[in-house]
């Protein structure tokens, strides 16, 4: 094809094609670390246009870069070279009627997560995916990155919440896997394979998602814990004692609390005691007949009797609950405002969190003494956002970012965990994956990529490095 751009303009029309200044907002990733100017940004109106543009790009040798809300942290949704087209489904935002008897809903991939939450509110059913970026993140991007978030240990990650998918393949054909059933063993689980494939195997255009009943009551508490070991022990106790109800089991450190209180306006810490680590515990139930407050209160008593909980408060109002959650949610912002930072997205078996925190601190202080360590995240599934700020008085990490990343990813791997827990690999972590995962695993991934995208059209340079 002589001129791919005019071909794409013909397919997409004026509304569907952005270039020049209009395309700039799509060009760089959220952390502003990756992305070169593409030929343009395609904004197709429907699946047929997605299929046509993918085929046109493939024939013209142009790379196709699917982009959701562009809230990813690994640079997986922007172009690595200029001969590329970013595809945004921001015009495909239809939300179907929820199937209340079945607990499912069909949506287009451009739907923003918060918009889905809002659309479901009147129906008594919810989509149980919650994360900081939910105001911008789109369903397609959440599927592509297999998002997890703060409720994953109870409700699962995207791969656990996707029933059916429609995907435009790299050759422009459309896979119709839009089945609204949990049990479908008619062959390989394609619907799972596309979750977390980061746009390297195709473009998810529509999905059928699993819904859960909206809780009718909740109980929340903010706790000051003795230490990380105590937090882990208490978390295991809670899983047994309040397993069905446990909807949030978030943790953050005193370093992070300090940074958040220092930088984030109108943020208040209401307890008297400070400690090394804090837990945000939330129980929810669909039944009004469960004594949720009593269950949480007696769990707290147990924790205090055993010296695990140093101080704590149950939220007595929705406003107070929101304040508790804000302390956790402002962790990234507080650290960002402090200046230079390094993010690491780690998971370890939940029981090993305290050991990781301890061993990780030793590694970090060996690399750069005084480095301020700010771990926060999801105690229930062992997902630690292990973020660093430079030592007091330093503005940077003395060029040691790579050393931190290598040491911490090796430690997580050694402990049976992951160095890419919920943010994926994108462009940022391919080399790290090559170092931390065996050749068999990397070879398997390369084979899958080559099998489904032999022309290398879809998001080249993301997730897997091809030895070609």
Region from 77-85, 140-148, 267-275, 313-321 binding its own copies, contact rule CB under 8 A: 140-148
Of positions 5, 33, 132, 212, contacts its own copies by CB under 8 A: 212
Q: How many residues belong to the site for its own copies (CB under 8 A)?
A: 100
Token pair recorded at residue 129: 């995916």
Nearer to its own copies, 262 or 447 (CB): 447
Smallest distance, Å, CB 5 to its own copies? 28
Interacting positions 293-332 with its own copies (CB under 8 A):
294-295, 298
Q: Which residues contact 227 (CB under 8 A, 6 or more apart)?
A: 275, 276, 277, 354
Of positions 21, 266, 268, 289, contacts its own copies by CB under 8 A: 289
Q: Which residues pair with 208 in a beta bridge?
A: 106, 164
Nearer to its own copies, 138 or 449 (CB): 449
Beta strands in 296-371 (DSSP E): 309-314, 345-347
Nearer to its own copies, 164 or 334 (CB): 164
Nearer to its own copies, 20 or 240 (CB): 240
Residue with tokens 């931190």: 404
Smallest distance, Å, CB 409 to its own copies? 9
Of positions 46, 83, 93, 159, contacts its own copies by CB under 8 A: 159
Contacts of range 62-66, beta carbons closer than 8 Å, 24 or more positions apart: 62/4, 62/457, 63/456, 63/457, 63/458, 63/459, 63/460, 64/170, 64/199, 64/203, 64/457, 64/458, 64/459, 65/38, 65/199, 65/459, 66/140, 66/141, 66/144, 66/199, 66/203, 66/204, 66/458, 66/459
Of positions 22, 118, 244, 301, contacts its own copies by CB under 8 A: 244
Q: Is 417 in the site for its own copies (CB under 8 A)?
A: yes
Region from 16-24, 132-140, 323-331, 412-420 binding its own copies, contact rule CB under 8 A: 412-420
Give the number of other Cβ atoms within 10 Å of residue 22's Cβ: 12
Q: Is 423 in the site for its own copies (CB under 8 A)?
A: yes
Q: Is 280 in the site for its own copies (CB under 8 A)?
A: no
Q: Is 150 in the site for its own copies (CB under 8 A)?
A: no
Smallest distance, Å, CB 437 to its own copies? 7
Smallest distance, Å, CB 330 to its own copies? 22
Distance CA 237, CA 369 (A): 35
Smallest distance, Å, CB 3 to its own copies? 29
Interacting positions 23-52 with its own copies (CB under 8 A):
none
Interacting positions 368-407 with its own copies (CB under 8 A):
378, 381-383
Is 106 strand, coil or helix? Answer: strand
Nearer to its own copies, 260 or 430 (CB): 430
Q: Is 358 in the site for its own copies (CB under 8 A)?
A: no
Interacting positions 160-199 with its own copies (CB under 8 A):
160, 164, 169, 173-190, 192-193, 195-197
- The conformation of residue 25, written as its DSSP 8-state character, comes to G
Give the number of other Cβ atoms within 10 Å of residue 441's Cβ: 11
Length of the chain: 468
Which residue, 74, 77, 94, is CA-closest to 41? 77
Pairing of strands 63-67, 277-285: unpaired
């Amino acid at each position: 094809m002589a001129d791919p751009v005019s071909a794409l303009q013909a397919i997409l029309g004026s509304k569907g094609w952005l270039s020049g200044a209009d395309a700039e907002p799509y060009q760089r990733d959220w952390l502003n670390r990756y992305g070169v100017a593409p030929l343009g940004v395609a904004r197709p109106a429907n699946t047929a246009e997605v299929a046509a543009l993918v085929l046109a790009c493939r024939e013209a040798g142009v790379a196709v870069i699917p982009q959701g809300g562009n809230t990813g942290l690994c640079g997986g949704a922007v172009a690595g070279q200029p001969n590329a087209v970013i595809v945004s489904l921001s015009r495909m935002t239809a939300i179907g009627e929820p199937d209340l008897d079945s607990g499912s809903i069909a949506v287009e991939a451009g739907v923003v997560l918060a918009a889905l939450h809002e659309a479901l509110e009147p129906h008594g059913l919810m989509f149980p995916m919650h994360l900081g970026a939910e105001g911008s993140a789109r369903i397609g991007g959440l599927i592509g990155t297999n998002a997890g978030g703060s409720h994953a240990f109870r409700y699962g990650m995207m791969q656990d919440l996707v029933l059916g998918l429609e995907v435009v393949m790299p050759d422009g054909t459309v896979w119709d896997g839009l089945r609204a059933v949990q049990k479908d063993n008619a062959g390989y689980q394609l619907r799972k394979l596309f979750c977390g494939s980061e746009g390297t195997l195709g473009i998810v255009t529509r999905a059928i998602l699993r819904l859960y009943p909206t809780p009718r009551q909740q109980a929340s508490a903010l706790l000051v814990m003795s230490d990380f070991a105590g937090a882990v022990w208490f978390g295991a106790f809670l899983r047994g004692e309040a397993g069905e109800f446990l909807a949030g089991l978030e943790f953050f450190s005193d370093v992070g609390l300090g940074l958040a209180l220092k930088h984030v306006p109108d943020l208040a810490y209401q307890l008297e005691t400070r400690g090394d680590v804090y837990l945000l515990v939330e129980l929810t139930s669909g039944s009004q007949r469960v004594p949720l407050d009593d269950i949480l209160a007696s769990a707290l008593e147990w924790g205090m009797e055993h010296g695990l909980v140093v101080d704590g408060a149950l939220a007595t109002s929705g406003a107070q609950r929101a304040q508790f959650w804000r302390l956790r949610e402002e962790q990234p912002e507080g650290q960002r405002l402090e200046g230079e930072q390094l993010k690491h997205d780690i998971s370890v078996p939940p029981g090993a969190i305290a050991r990781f925190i301890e061993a990780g601190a030793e590694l970090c202080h060996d690399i750069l003494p005084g480095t301020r360590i700010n771990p926060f995240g999801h105690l229930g599934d062992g997902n630690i956002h292990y973020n660093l700020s430079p030592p007091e008085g330093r503005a940077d990490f003395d060029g040691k970012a790579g050393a931190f990343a290598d040491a911490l990813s090796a430690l997580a791997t050694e402990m049976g965990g992951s160095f890419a827990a919920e943010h994926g690999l994108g462009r940022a972590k391919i080399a790290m994956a090559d170092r931390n995962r065996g050749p068999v695993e990397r070879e398997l991934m390369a084979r899958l990529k080559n099998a489904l995208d032999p022309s290398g059209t879809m998001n080249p340079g993301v997730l897997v490095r091809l030895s070609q």
